[in-house]
Structure 1
Amino acid sequence: MQYISTRGQVAPIGFIDAILMGLADDGGLLVPTHLPQLSQETLAAWQKLSYSELALEVFSLFIGDEIPREDLKKLVDDSYATFRDPAVTPVRKINDNLHVLELFHGPTFAFKDIALQFLGNLYSYVSGKTNSIIHILGATSGDTGASAIEGVRGKEGIRICILHPHGKVSKVQELQMTTIDDANVLNLAVEGTFDDCQRIIKELFADVEFKHHYHLRAINSINIARILAQTVYYFYAYFRLAEQGVTAKVNFSVPTGNFGDIFAGYLAQKMGLPINKLILATNENNILERFVREGIYQPGEFRGTHSPSMDIQVASNFERYLYYLCGEDASAVASIMAQFKNEGRIEIGADKLALVQADFDAYGVQNEECLDTISSYYGEYSYLLDPHTACGVAAGDRKSAEGEVTVALSTAHPAKFNEAIELRKIEQTYPEQIQALFNKQQKVTVVGGSNDDVKDELVKFF
């Protein structure tokens, strides 16, 4: 399997070169040259596999022989041995119409662990095999940072710097990042929003000379390995419903801000998984909902919400979807992204909007509706949703039709967002690992919101 840029100016490269490149050198995002097409026989065989076995099969399709199968198996097994539930991503039935895919059983209680435990081990493997320097630079709206740090902390040959918006992540998210004392970890709290952090990251990676001089590698979902890892749990969840005898059409409702998690479901569907409907759940920062409804992609006014990890206006993975929406025409994508850079707006025609609406449905959840959903499901089913999962459940309730079953992706443990939970007078007990964070000393540097402010810290660290 080889990888190319959505903007067409990067020669095809292999999987390892793709994960090391992160953001394509032409400013685009890397995608596989083709998507494997799965037969009914393959899907039936995969249904019998454990999570780690399934992940191995999916990764093998996209890695080929670049990593020997036994080495890849060890990487996968080591990555998911850190999860607290033997199923890795268990599926909980809430009622006849709703199942919740619990993605928070990894070390940092967030869905990002599923990709980043693997990517951390993969980077360590590549560093050891190629004697290469790995300097990881990433941005987080809350969960990616902790998961990325946990994946590589203390590992030889790897240093990691994570940017987060100062004062705009939950307290637990902040503590999970900033209480890590390993010498190979740097946390920068940027005075601004997550979109500012993400812009800085993309612009530093687009500075090819700086990127290569300091051996910068990507941990955000601009890295294609992140997306591939996330496709696995769509297959796994679908198979679990089939085992339970579910014969209705299956929807997935996905809380998303950066478009990565739902794009992974889109890839699984294009590979042959018979997903009925992909429901895109946003919060009041609803740029993606507006795109699905109206065909207009335009950042609006930033809104702080009870689901802060989704407080994003510019979705970094949106360009990957544009590539497929444009019929894999890289020149068309390059033209659209140039227009977006100049005008801050993308508007598609009616023909393409019809394709978007065939691929996705969408719903933007308001703050109070998010809290109402947490309250109602806790009261009726004694099941506590974190505010991001609540957005997914609310969107699923709104957009699923009679006779359909919805799987809502639960992206984080509710203990990570007690600020929202306690607004509805719900008390929860923190897991021991999270409770222990409040007694640890923090280690973080607050910086301004410019590229140069961040560059200065990186030069000192790397």
Structure 2
Amino acid sequence: MRYISTRGEAPALGFEDVLLTGLATDGGLYVPESLPHFSLEEIRSWRGLPYAELAYKVMYPFVEDAIPADDFRQMLDDTYAVFSHQAVAPLVQLDSNEWVMELFRGPTLAFKDFALQLLGRLLDYVLEKRKQHVVIMGATSGDTGSAAIEGCRRCEHVDIFILHPHQRVSEVQRRQMTTVQGDNIHNIAVKGNFDDCQRMVKESFGNQSFLGGKTQLAAVNSINWARIMAQIVYYFQASLSLGGPDRSMAFSVPTGNFGDIFAGYLAKKMGLPINQLVIATNRNDILHRFMSGNKYEQHQLEHTLSPSMDIMVSSNFERLLFDLHGRDGAAVKTLLENATRGPVSIEDYRWKHARKVFDSDAVDDKATCDTIREIYEQNEYLLDPHTAIGVRAARNCRRDSAVPMITLGTAHPAKFPDAISESGLSVEPQLPAHMADLFEREESYTVLDNNVSEVQGFIARHWKNA
């Protein structure tokens, strides 16, 4: 399988090169030249498979030119063996035909573990094969950083530099990153917001001269295709658990960078019956404003109780725009260049095509807290603020009550005690046993100004072969 850029000017690459490249040389994101498609009969035959085996069925077409089947199976077995629940992604029922899929049973208590535990193993495999070293540079709004560090910290051929917005992630999120010790692990707190961190990562991938030609950058953010690929699987898992593919499903996805919900869109294109995808956002609602009114316009980023979604530039939205424009890279490039100067819209028929499957909602902090409290009072089930936004959006946007609605539960509530407290509940969410001493562990991180040259200089000085 070959991969092409959403901007249309970079060369097509194989899986190994896409894994290590991240951002395409033309500034675009890589997507498969064509998607595998599964028949209903084939999907039906996967009922009852263990999660790792289902992951193999869904993902192997994307990597088969690069990784032998037995090696990939072993990676998947190792990846999902570290999750704390035998089902890996268990479903919890909230109401009639309403469910939460718990995607926080991995080692860092967030959905990012599904992709980043695998990404670390993929990197180790390919870099060992090539005898190559890379520098991982990533930006996090809270959860990607800890999942990337946990997934990649044992990799022999990488140095890891994770940027997070200073004082704009929860304390648990910060400590999950900054208490992991290792000569190859570097946490950078940038005096800015997540969009600033993400912009620095993109600029650095576009010009890697600060590394002196001695190594290259590799991406852990969802600009890396492997991240998206791994997230497709749990849509199939949820459907098969609730009667799919013989009945269609609806999903509500808390999203900031559009990666997780784009994986659902791909699952639909690959043959899984999905009749609705709900984009659930907080006050940073650029995706909701586009999907509800065909207007893509950046506003000032706001700090909320759901910090992992405090994002205004949704990188993976470019992948959807590429599809909506008939895979015309030049049109996407022009649109996104115009978007840096002011509001943009797409042709009405393209927007209406997106609306056939996508709905959206923006949920403020008060409604988030109300939802946390209501669900706990109804079910004694505690939601984190991001999942609460997903549940509220699902209820506000639901098209058909006969279709199962599944909200992706993106993080453990113990990561966001402030939101639980703001909701008026007296319950204190507890960290699981393997993190019980998190607040006693020593932290290590560096605070830098919101300046790309300063960040690049730090990386150039501190990767181990510098």
TM-score (norm 2): 0.96
Q: CA deviation at 1:177?
A: 0.3
C-alpha distance in structure 1 between counterparts of 2:417 and 2:246, whole Å: 37
Q: CA deviation at 1:337?
A: 2.0
SS for the counterpart of 1:356 is helix
| Cross-structure match for 1:351 | 349
Contact 1:165 1:189 in 2 (8 A): yes
Contact 1:123 1:134 in 2 (8 A): no
How does 1:308-387 map onto structure 2 within 5 Å?
Answer: 308-341=307-340, 343-387=341-385
Q: CA deviation at 1:135?
A: 1.1
| Cross-structure match for 1:95 | 95
C-alpha distance in structure 1 between counterparts of 2:401 and 2:41, whole Å: 29
1:226 aligns with 2:227: yes
Q: CA deviation at 1:461?
A: 1.3
C-alpha distance in structure 2 between counterparts of 1:134 and 1:237, whole Å: 35
RMSD value, Cα: 1.4
C-alpha distance after superposition, 1:257-282 (max 9, x if no partner): 00000000000011111011000000
Q: CA deviation at 1:162?
A: 0.1
Q: Which amino acid aligns with 2:370?
A: D
C-alpha distance after superposition, 1:196-229 (max 9, x if no partner): 0001001111115447653100000000000000
C-alpha distance in structure 1 between counterparts of 2:59 and 2:268, whole Å: 16
Q: CA deviation at 1:330?
A: 1.3
C-alpha distance in structure 2 between counterparts of 1:248 and 1:124, whole Å: 39
1:80 aligns with 2:80: yes
C-alpha distance in structure 2 between counterparts of 1:366 and 1:53, whole Å: 39
C-alpha distance in structure 1 between counterparts of 2:246 and 2:426, whole Å: 36
Q: Which amino acid aligns with 2:271?
A: G
Q: 1:248 to 1:62 in 2, by over 3 A?
A: closer
Moved more, 300-309 or 281-290: 300-309
1:66 aligns with 2:99: no
C-alpha distance in structure 2 between counterparts of 1:208 and 1:432, whole Å: 41
C-alpha distance in structure 2 between counterparts of 1:349 and 1:393, whole Å: 31
Q: CA deviation at 1:10?
A: 1.6
C-alpha distance in structure 2 between counterparts of 1:56 and 1:412, whole Å: 24
C-alpha distance after superposition, 1:101-143 (max 9, x if no partner): 0000000000000000000111011111110112100000000
Q: Which amino acid aligns with 2:24?
A: A
C-alpha distance after superposition, 1:332-376 (max 9, x if no partner): 1122122223x1432112212211211300000111000000000
C-alpha distance in structure 2 between counterparts of 1:61 and 1:249, whole Å: 24
1:294 aligns with 2:277: no
Q: CA deviation at 1:303?
A: 1.2
| Cross-structure match for 1:459 | 460
SS for the counterpart of 2:419 is helix
Q: CA deviation at 1:415?
A: 0.3
| Cross-structure match for 2:269 | 270
Moved more, 37-46 or 67-76: 37-46
C-alpha distance in structure 2 between counterparts of 1:111 and 1:2, whole Å: 27
Q: CA deviation at 1:45?
A: 1.4
Contact 1:365 1:395 in 2 (8 A): yes
C-alpha distance in structure 1 between counterparts of 2:40 and 2:246, whole Å: 16
| Cross-structure match for 1:116 | 116
| Cross-structure match for 1:158 | 158
Q: CA deviation at 1:302?
A: 1.4
Contact 1:6 1:319 in 2 (8 A): yes
| Cross-structure match for 2:440 | 439
Q: CA deviation at 1:231?
A: 0.3
Q: CA deviation at 1:247?
A: 7.0
Q: Which amino acid aligns with 2:102?
A: E
Q: CA deviation at 1:387?
A: 0.3
Moved more, 332-341 or 63-72: 332-341
C-alpha distance after superposition, 1:169-215 (max 9, x if no partner): 00000000001111110000000000000010011111154476531
1:392 aligns with 2:390: yes
> How many correspondences in the alignment?
459
Q: CA deviation at 1:97?
A: 2.6
Q: 1:59 to 1:247 in 2, by over 3 A?
A: closer
Moved more, 374-383 or 55-64: 55-64
SS for the counterpart of 1:279 is strand
| Cross-structure match for 1:133 | 133
Q: Which amino acid aligns with 1:375?
A: R
C-alpha distance in structure 2 between counterparts of 1:78 and 1:430, whole Å: 24
| Cross-structure match for 1:2 | 2
List gaps (5 residues or longer) in structure 1: none
Q: 1:21 to 1:405 in 2, by over 3 A?
A: same
List gaps (5 residues or longer) in structure 2: none
How does 1:115-264 map onto structure 2 within 5 Å?
Answer: 115-210=115-210, 213-242=214-243, 249-264=248-263
Contact 1:101 1:237 in 2 (8 A): yes
C-alpha distance in structure 2 between counterparts of 1:310 and 1:117, whole Å: 21
Percent of residue pairs bearing the same amino acid type: 47
SS for the counterpart of 2:416 is helix
C-alpha distance in structure 2 between counterparts of 1:18 and 1:132, whole Å: 15
Contact 1:154 1:182 in 2 (8 A): no
SS for the counterpart of 1:79 is helix
